[in-house]
Amino acid sequence: MHLGATLRLLRVDAGLSLRDLARRIGVSSAYLSRVEHGLDAVPTPERLAAIARELDVPPTLLMDVAHRVSPFVSSYLEQEPGAGQLFLDIARRRLTGPQLARVRRLLDEEFPLREARRDEPVPTLANLLAPERLVVQLSCARLEDALDVAAGRLTSACPGVGAAQLVAALRQRESEVSSAVGNGVAVPHALIAGTHPTAALVTLASPLSVDTPDGLPLRLLVVLVSAERGRSHLVRLAHVARLASHGLADRLFEAQHPQELLEQLGAMETLC
């Protein structure tokens, strides 16, 4: 996990300078820089929530990337200590993703939320993908080669945009700030006018030794294309970072076929 890389990526894409964001959340730019570079402790849940508000992304996304417990959960555990034992029982049983989904459905049926609405759902990555935009176990020696392959798969979903134009946009964005978010995952992205949000996913046969925030080699790329910056774009980036922090590269690395990869991803997103 490397929260700082995700914060830096989101901040740059939100068009905020380090000084601007630091001022808005009431900290020094030196402190925020240290957090972004992984040199300082992960911010408190309250400060993460403040950062999320300024970036206009759901606080739960940043909490998950940081593996922090939401203040709402902490407060509930204080009010209902027995809930902690239930969480422990779930952990001891080592419930799988599908099993936890069954538990969630039971809760929805037996104990529906009292609030009028749920939190805004986060768009899933699986909905942006298609089998023809999945590249499984790609053999390449450079990140640029992987971007070339991904761009070739994405052009069919980007009418009027050639592969060379898309590759140039991806490389330009990568030159501004690295898209590596840690745990072997990078999320290269480009803004192309007139395109609908879409994605390609590439797993690498051999990890690439490129500069990453946590020093782990690159194993998986999620390449995103959208028409403009904005909340939806930032939420998608944060969602990929959350998946990465929960072992996305490990979960998908063994997949041998596009359909298998989609199924694994769908199962993971069910609970994220």
Cβ neighbours for 229, distance < 8 A, ≥ 6 positions apart = 13, 14, 15, 191
Which residue has better confidence, 93 or 120?
Answer: 93
C-alpha–C-alpha distance, residues 84 and 93, integer Å:
14
Which residue has better confidence, 125 or 86?
Answer: 125
Mean pLDDT of 176-200: 94
Q: Is residue 11 part of a domain?
A: no
Q: Is residue 177 part of a domain?
A: yes
Confidence (pLDDT) at 117: 42
Confidence (pLDDT) at 143: 94
In one letter, which amino acid is 20? Answer: D
Confidence (pLDDT) at 120: 57
pLDDT at 220 over 70: yes
pLDDT at 116 over 60: no
Mean pLDDT of 71-93: 78
pLDDT grade, residue 70 (50/70/90)?
Answer: low
Mean pLDDT of 154-167: 89
**How far are the Cα atoms of 44, 159, 202, 241 from residue 162, in angstroms, in the given order?**
44, 8, 19, 28
Q: Is residue 160 part of a domain?
A: yes
C-alpha–C-alpha distance, residues 20 and 15, integer Å:
10
Q: Is residue 190 part of a domain?
A: yes
Q: Give the number of domains in the chain.
A: 1
Mean pLDDT of 78-84: 80
Confidence (pLDDT) at 114: 65
In one letter, which amino acid is 159? Answer: P
Q: What is the mean pLDDT of the chain?
A: 89
Strand partners, 198: 225
C-alpha–C-alpha distance, residues 161 and 192, integer Å:
8
C-alpha–C-alpha distance, residues 3 and 226, integer Å:
23
Which of 4-18, 66-80, 83-97 is the most confident on average?
A: 4-18
Token pair recorded at residue 175: 């030159």
Confidence (pLDDT) at 72: 65
Q: Is residue 26 part of a domain?
A: no
C-alpha–C-alpha distance, residues 160 and 194, integer Å:
9
Mean pLDDT of 182-190: 96
Q: Is residue 188 part of a domain?
A: yes
Q: CA nearest 61: which of 246, 196, 229?
A: 246
Instruction: Please state, as a whole number, how many other Cβ atoms lie within 10 Å of the Cβ of residue 160.
Output: 10
Tens digit of each residue's pLDDT (9 = 90 or more) over 15-59: 999 999 999 999 999 999 999 998 998 899 899 999 999 999 999
Which residue has better confidence, 207 or 102?
Answer: 207
Q: Is residue 100 part of a domain?
A: no
Question: What's this model's pTM, rounded to 2 decimal places?
Answer: 0.85
pLDDT at 118 over 50: no
Least reliable range by pLDDT among 50-59, 96-105, 141-150, 238-247: 96-105
- Which residues form the domain of 136? 126-269
C-alpha–C-alpha distance, residues 193 and 258, integer Å:
28
Q: Is residue 116 part of a domain?
A: no
Here the CATH number for the domain that contains residue 177 is 3.40.930.10
Which residue has better confidence, 207 or 109?
Answer: 207
Confidence (pLDDT) at 270: 76
C-alpha–C-alpha distance, residues 9 and 220, integer Å:
17
C-alpha–C-alpha distance, residues 134 and 128, integer Å:
11
